[in-house]
Amino acid sequence: MSEATAHFGPAKGNIMERKPLVRNNRSMAWITEHVSAMIESKTPIWWWVFTIISGAIATLVPLELIYLVSTGVGVWGLNNPVFWAWDITNFVFWIGIGHAGTLISAILFLTRQKWRTSINRAAEAMTIFAVICAGIFPAFHVGRFWMAWFLAPVPNANAIWQNFKSPLLWDVFAVSTYFTVSLIFWYTGLIPDLATIRDRAKNVWRKYIYGVLALGWRGSNRQWRNYEKAYLILAGISTPLVLSVHSVVSFDFATSIVPGWHTTIFPPYFVAGAIFGGFAMVLSLMLPARWIFGLHDLITTKHIDNMAKIILLTGTIVGYAYTMEFFIAWYSGNPNEAWVFQFNRLSDPYIFSKWFDSGVAPYWWAYWAMFICNVFSPQLFWFKKVRTNMWAVWIICMVGPNVGMWFERFVIIVTSIHRDFLPGSWGYFSPSINDILLFVGTIGLFCFLFLLFLRFLPAITMFEVKAVLPEADPHYHGPDAKKGESH
């Protein structure tokens, strides 16, 4: 990994030099060729294999939804008192994953983090697909899907308006706004690259389709100026949305009175968790893509290192939040609140139940899975060796945040409501096969859409990567300029 700085020679005088964002002095033409080749080359076998497999899994989604809507929510394992379980867990999980894309695009854009350029396109695509997967659950988890339009503020014969006190309604607006803005933001960013693909196209259909999608982009100065403004405005609009969506999602729980849900720490904790999970998912997808497409020069170890640091930071914030919940539960003196943390979540059969002299928490395994995956596993990123080892990063992301964040939502939702105020109404939730198949189906759908994206759209923002090349700097005088120092 040291060859990146090799051409700077011995460290003398160059100690503060940043690592370049594109390695091996790749030219602009090389970038165009290389990224376009992902779309233009012959369809590789592996793509067919993965796309067919994930597409087949994705068909579970419509099948499960047909069964669900035709038969009733009872096909899931829900019960009284656990009226929400995998449905809302999956919703929050996917919507959380949908955070990294817009965060990378918008917030890192506004803060001039140049390293975002090679990963933002794919991260944004991932956001769109994750929000699509997320949206399935709240839409279809309702008992009467065909009446879900009651959520929309359209005048109706009953003259009943929506209840704007309900966080679920806020959710509807927050998620739909987020999806719309993310989609526009993503599409706007795609236009110059779509035009590149159009210009390179040799096939009439391809020319025609990408031509339509490119919206007549000619790369004129005026177009660039408008584009830059629009992109900046959209980034500005997206930035608060990154924070608001997951805050609003957290209100679904925080504004309730259920012990374990009713927690003021939720908005920042959810946002941190979403960024945590989202970055992990970006890495989970981009590392294999980088390897397959040979994008090592564009997505460098620096990118990965940065993202691993963000995962370490947000994972630690999440760990702080988990711990703070315990403190507040104790400090509030509310026994119902304390119960949830102590006896619904923490009490494992080996240590804590013995210490508390209590029964075993029915979902202790979920709580501990969450804690280990989300708080302990990212601590490995303190070590640079780990951060720069692609296999280590990928494995930690897959089994750490990706799994842990699903468990986090499961723990929050199910372990709080399965035993709340009145012990006489306590219950237990076990998923049915349909819970599982629908979730697996959305994973298939997500992968399927992402594979389509890799094949049909430029997965790396070519024009922005070019902008971070040294050559893009007006003061740049070629690789030899530094050596010469003789102006």
The reply on whether position 72 binds another protein by CB under 8 A is yes
User: Which C-beta is closer to another protein: that of 142 or that of 392?
Assistant: 142
CB of 173 to another protein, least distance (A): 10
CA–CA distance, 408 with 422 (Å, rounded to integer)? 24
Report the site for another protein in 400-429 (rule: CB under 8 A).
Answer: 417, 419-429
Q: Does 335 bind another protein (CB under 8 A)?
A: yes
Helix pair angle (86-102, 120-140), 10° resolution: 160
Q: Prior bond to 81 cis, omega within 30?
A: yes
Does position 80 interact with another protein (CB under 8 A)? The reply is yes
Q: Residue 22 and residue 296: Cα distance in Å, rounded?
A: 9
Among the candidate windows 3-11, 273-281, 355-363, 437-445, which touches another protein by CB under 8 A? Answer: 355-363
Q: Does 177 help bind another protein (rule: CB under 8 A)?
A: no
- Minimum CB–partner distance for residue 256 and another protein (Å): 5
Interacting stretch for another protein, rule CB under 8 A, among 16-24, 181-189, 288-296, 330-338? 330-338
Hey, which residues between 180 and 239 contact another protein (CB under 8 A)? none
Q: Where are the alpha helices (DSSP H) in 294-388?
A: 301-332, 335-339, 352-356, 364-371, 384-387
Give residues with Cβ within 8 angstroms of 199, minimum separation 6: none
Q: Which two tokens stand for residue 383?
A: 């070590």
Residue from 86, 115, 137, 339 that binds another protein (CB under 8 A)?
A: 339
> Rule CB under 8 A: is residue 147 a binding residue for another protein?
yes
Closest CA to 88 of 165, 143, 141: 141
Options 117-125, 153-161, 309-317, 320-328: segment touching another protein (CB under 8 A): 153-161
* Site for another protein contains 160 (CB under 8 A): yes
Q: How many alpha carbons fall within 13 Å on the CB side of residue 86?
A: 19
Query: d(Cα 321, Cα 112) in Å, to the nearest integer?
Result: 29
Nearer to another protein, 92 or 449 (CB): 92
Q: What DSSP string describes 390-458?
A: HHHHHHHHIIIIIHHHHHHHHIIIIIHHSS-S-GGG-------HHHHHHHHHHHHHHHHHHHHHHHHS-
Cα(248)–Cα(171) distance, rounded to whole angstroms?
6
Q: Which is nearer to another protein, 16 or 160 (CB)?
A: 160
- What minimum distance in Å lies between the beta carbon of 347 and another protein? 9
Half-sphere exposure of residue 246, counting CA atoms within 13 Å on the CB side? Answer: 30
Distance of alpha carbon 298 from alpha carbon 463, whole angstroms: 12
Cβ-based nearer residue to another protein, 245 or 311: 245
Among 24, 177, 244, 256, contact with another protein (rule: CB under 8 A) = 256
Tokens, residue 12 = 């003398």
Instruction: Map residues 365-404 to x or -, x wherever contact with another protein holds by CB under 8 A.
Output: ----------------------------------------
**What are the percentages of helix, strand and coil residues in the chain, rounded to 5?**
75, 0, 25
> Using the rule CB under 8 A, is 436 a contact of another protein?
no
- Which range of residues in 30-38, 79-87, 115-123, 391-399 is near another protein by CB under 8 A? 79-87
User: Considering CB under 8 A, how many residues would be counted as binding another protein?
Assistant: 65
The residue ranges that bind another protein (CB under 8 A) are 67, 70-74, 77-84, 141-145, 147-148, 150-151, 158, 160-163, 165-169, 172, 252, 255-258, 333-336, 339, 343, 353, 356-360, 362, 417, 419-430
